[in-house]
Structure 1
Amino acid sequence: MKKHNFSAGPCILPQEVLQKASEAVLNFNNENLSLIEMSHRSTAFVEVIEKARSLALELLGLENKGYKALFLQGGASMQFLMVTYNLLNKKAAYLNTGTWSDKAIKEAKMFGEVVEVATSKDKKFSYIPKGFTIPTDADYFHTTSNNTIYGTQIKDFPDFKGINVCDMSSDIFSRQLDFSKFDLIYAGAQKNMGPAGTTLVIIKEEILGKVEREIPSMLNYQVHLDKDSMFNTPSVFAVYTSMLNLEWLKDLGGIPFIEKVNNKKAALLYSEIDRNPLFKGFANKEDRSNMNVTFNLVDDSLKETFDTMWQDAGINGLNGHRSVGGYRASMYNALPLYSVQVLVDVMQELERKK
């Protein structure tokens, strides 16, 4: 029986996507070749990556608006460096809301001045800072939309008139936003889109070509754009499976549909956390993430009992990140509502036993 997969990443994927992807490993598109042994220059795979790029723009409502989609390698961690290489001339502004923005800031400091406009480090990143000022002369402003480790999510993005960059690795395609407010979006596939090995980058081409430094080819967005995301051999399996997942989402009704489902899942679990005296949430209520729900036991002596109960219920990946502890229920697009209900039932059973 399939487990209820709350893993923070690599993420849960729809069963039909896994089925199609597994079939492609044996025989892709009736070519009598495996997807992972055929040329990435073949017509069959070029059609895959082109469709994946097109679907990404379509689902985000960015078609015909000057944006292009790339599937690159190196994860979001590589994007920390690429963003800086391609966009930072003198000064960049960052909102520090957790480990990943902290790491992005570290990379940016090697190339110029970095203004940390605000941080929530003082309270273990349990909230999203507000009411800060962004320098108008910043080359770009960088945010992280959702924080997997701490379970916070930006609900209202600051209004910055310059170049807006956002790391959406863990909540892309999960909720409706005006994505045209961003000039560059990047997301590691393994959080809410596909398997590990590829990273989606959505970029407005007009923002490039403004830095004076020479950029290595592999780190140069323009090089990848000029080669239609095929400058080097792409991660063919990760791109293909991401394409299948984007098709799945489109067929369901796109982001408007999945947002309603995600809201129901989040409401169900957060309601139980707030109601059940044995549990407490980690993140501030107004900043709670719909993707990654972080919570703790009020009484740690119940940990062994609770851990046994949720594991016996077929739940996987519930332990919190090592830097925070407690529990983290990652509820990405493909996680069904009934899996959340199973977790809630276990929490209620623990209360009855207590």
Structure 2
Amino acid sequence: MPRQTYRGGYIVSTYTYSAGPGMLPKEVMQEIQQHLLTFEYEGVSILETSHRSEAFQHVVDSLEVRLRRLMGIPRHYAVLWLQGGATLQFSMIPMNLSRCNRFAYVDTGVWSKKAMEDARRFGEVEVIQPISDEADGMSFDSRSAQDVDYLHVTLNNTIEGTRFTNIPEMDIPLVADASSNILAEKIDVERFGVIYAGAQKNIGPAGLTVVIIRRDLIQSLSLPSYLSYASHEDKLLNTPATFSMFTAERVLKWIEDRGGVEAMERLNRKKSEVVYSFLDRSNHFSSLVSGNRRSLTNIPFTTGDSEGDAAFQRFALERGLVELGGHRSVGGLRASLYNSMPLAGAVRLVDVMREFEEETYVSHQNI
């Protein structure tokens, strides 16, 4: 359901296409609003509620139950709720999974490179290049990883707009950064040793990170307490991001009420197809990714030059479309269509792109 604001004397529907923090369901935010003043006790906000209280423990328990149900997480996997974003996991993973101190990483862009950079502080990194095919999508050669502790993949590349469509069988632990596609498409948890994700795209607000880890990979190592996965298994070590966890639990309920991950994936395919179909036909906008490796949730595109991209951002903002700029490292344009973005938001984006074409190009040609 879009939000409405006044612009230029008119009511317009507002959509945010931010890559993160991403759009949240309006229904969830309205529900949360009621708890900002009163949660467990009259006059005590959810923001003030102790993480050790019985009421908040119900939130923690429900959050884990819902995630396990939505993703099909078996009991031999632990679910850890941490802070520090996915970026902290770039260090925690090699610290906790090291045995021979050799790690393999599939290089698919900015975030995989950042993960590799931190892993190199703890051992040797073997870099694997992805195999990209228009018809078959994106994969990698599993034979490239030999004598390593794990192989790391970024399942969906938020900046580059690509996604893995084929994950080979491996006899070593697979570690997946699922920050931008968790709950947006089906993930077979048991294919992976570790799945981690920042919450601020499909789960809830910023400040929360989930780590799903096979229990046999949790080692008792001589690490600082917070940085050890063993310290977090089946308990809250310290004060967590309580408000983010409460909101996440409500978002997971919202997803369940709408049919779960399968329904979200169907909707995300429809939304992305609406935008990609327009970009493929347009004479003035173009997609930066083609074929079956295209992301369902992050769509980078361009007018062809930086001035045109900036002009479109201004044009879109005047019509209630927010955060359409590309990542600062690459520029251009980008639309993120996470779970909370309705189909109407994808349709509205296409309508505004079409309007921009007509006003900027067609009208100028007729002068």
TM-score greater than 0.5 by the shorter chain = yes
Question: What is the CA-CA distance between 1:345 and the residue it aligns to?
Answer: 0.6
Instruction: Please give the secondary structure, in 2, of the residue aligned with 1:94.
Output: strand
For residue 364 of structure 2, what is the aligned residue in structure 1?
none
Residue identity matched to 2:228: N
For residue 84 of structure 1, what is the aligned residue in structure 2?
94
Separation in 1, partners of 2:235, 2:28: 23
For residue 313 of structure 1, what is the aligned residue in structure 2?
319
**Contact 2:16–2:23, Cα closer than 8 Å, also in 1:** yes
For residue 94 of structure 1, what is the aligned residue in structure 2?
105
Instruction: Please give the secondary structure, in 2, of the residue aligned with 1:239.
Output: helix
For residue 112 of structure 1, what is the aligned residue in structure 2?
123
For residue 23 of structure 2, what is the aligned residue in structure 1?
12
Cα distance change, pair 300–103 in 1 and its aligned pair in 2 (3 A) = closer
Verify: 1:223 aligned to 2:231, yes or no: yes
Taking the TM superposition and a 5 Å limit, the aligned residue runs for 1:1-354 are 1=4, 3-29=14-40, 31-64=42-75, 66-90=76-100, 91-118=102-129, 128=138, 130-131=140-141, 133-209=143-219, 214-225=222-233, 228-298=234-304, 300=306, 302-303=308-309, 305-353=311-359, 354=361
Count of equivalent residues: 343
**Contact 2:142–2:169, Cα closer than 8 Å, also in 1:** no
Cα distance change, pair 205–274 in 1 and its aligned pair in 2 (3 A) = same
Separation in 1, partners of 2:238, 2:155: 29
Instruction: Please give the secondary structure, in 1, of the residue aligned with 2:197.
Output: strand
Instruction: Please give the secondary structure, in 1, of the residue aligned with 2:300.
Output: strand
Question: What is the CA-CA distance between 1:15 and the residue it aligns to?
Answer: 0.6
Residue identity matched to 2:356: L
Residue identity matched to 1:95: V
Separation in 1, partners of 2:125, 2:308: 44
Cα distance change, pair 285–33 in 1 and its aligned pair in 2 (3 A) = same
Instruction: Please give the secondary structure, in 1, of the residue aligned with 2:129.
Output: strand
Q: Which deviations, in whole Å up to 9, do the C-alpha atoms of 1:186-221 show, x marking residues without a partner? A: 1000122100111011111111228xx522111111
Normalising by structure 1, report the TM-score: 0.92
Q: Work out the percentage of aligned pairs sharing the same amino acid.
A: 40
Separation in 1, partners of 2:202, 2:180: 6
**Contact 2:139–2:165, Cα closer than 8 Å, also in 1:** no
RMSD, matched Cα = 1.8
Instruction: Please give the secondary structure, in 2, of the residue aligned with 1:110.
Output: coil
Question: What is the CA-CA distance between 1:22 and the residue it aligns to?
Answer: 2.1
**Contact 2:306–2:332, Cα closer than 8 Å, also in 1:** no
Residue identity matched to 1:142: H
Normalising by structure 2, report the TM-score: 0.89
For residue 8 of structure 2, what is the aligned residue in structure 1?
none
**Contact 1:313–1:342, Cα closer than 8 Å, also in 2:** no
Separation in 1, partners of 2:186, 2:201: 17
**Contact 2:197–2:211, Cα closer than 8 Å, also in 1:** yes
**Contact 2:139–2:164, Cα closer than 8 Å, also in 1:** no
Separation in 1, partners of 2:210, 2:270: 27
**Contact 1:174–1:333, Cα closer than 8 Å, also in 2:** yes
Instruction: Please give the secondary structure, in 2, of the residue aligned with 1:19.
Output: helix
Residue identity matched to 1:25: L
Question: What is the CA-CA distance between 1:305 and the residue it aligns to?
Answer: 4.2
Instruction: Please give the secondary structure, in 2, of the residue aligned with 1:294.
Output: strand
Residue identity matched to 2:217: I
**Contact 1:118–1:132, Cα closer than 8 Å, also in 2:** no
**Contact 2:309–2:333, Cα closer than 8 Å, also in 1:** no
Greater Cα offset, 305-314 or 243-252: 305-314
Residue identity matched to 1:41: R
Residue identity matched to 1:67: Y
Question: What is the CA-CA distance between 1:253 and the residue it aligns to?
Answer: 0.7
For residue 124 of structure 1, what is the aligned residue in structure 2?
none
Instruction: Please give the secondary structure, in 1, of the residue aligned with 2:238.
Output: coil
**Contact 1:118–1:129, Cα closer than 8 Å, also in 2:** no
Question: What is the CA-CA distance between 1:169 and the residue it aligns to?
Answer: 0.5
